[in-house]
Amino acid sequence: MSELSVQDRPTQSAPTLNAELEAVKLLISQLKITEGIGDEENDDELIADMVEGQTQLYEAIGLVIERIHADDTLVEGMKLAEARIEARRKRFADRNERRKFAIANALQLAKKPKFEHPLVTISRRNAPPHSEVLAEHELPAKYWKLKDPEVDKRLLLADLKAAELAGEKISGAILIKGEQITAWSWS
């Protein structure tokens, strides 16, 4: 965790300090919800370790930002590990398909309809016909399935804004207004 020097901290008046103290309290209560305090999987003392000793918003947010950065790093590492595991799973599955194909070819060449082994019994038979697409772009339209309907969120947002101005509502949706953080620049 990085320590902030006195000159790095903004100066505050008494009303600003009161507002910041309330903001710190709000931050703590929201973090207790988002961190899942009380869940078996989460550390019940996380908030106390992170923020509860803080009375200044600047330091409290700084501690939360450091936690976000640590979790983002973990998420990226997990994504890489998942990608490696998925690639490995695919290699194993593909290799087994090639092995099964080789066995089927060998049994066909040997004219053996059945092969028994302690782990498995393999039987050959004529497979039902199936199709294989060689060039999708050449297929006539009747062979294409339409995609399941999906909500056009841009149109919905525009209509929700217009409905709000007209004092109307759209059943099944609401317009949410608020602020969000628009950029993270890690140093």
**pLDDT over 60 (residue 81):** yes
For residue range 173-183, list pLDDT tens digits in order.
888 877 666 66
Q: Specify whether the CB–CB gap between 122 and 115 falls below 8 A.
A: yes
For residue range 111-152, list pLDDT tens digits in order.
998 899 999 999 887 777 778 888 888 888 888 888 888 898
Between 49 and 168, residue with greater pLDDT: 168
Q: Specify whether the CB–CB gap between 24 and 60 falls below 8 A.
A: yes
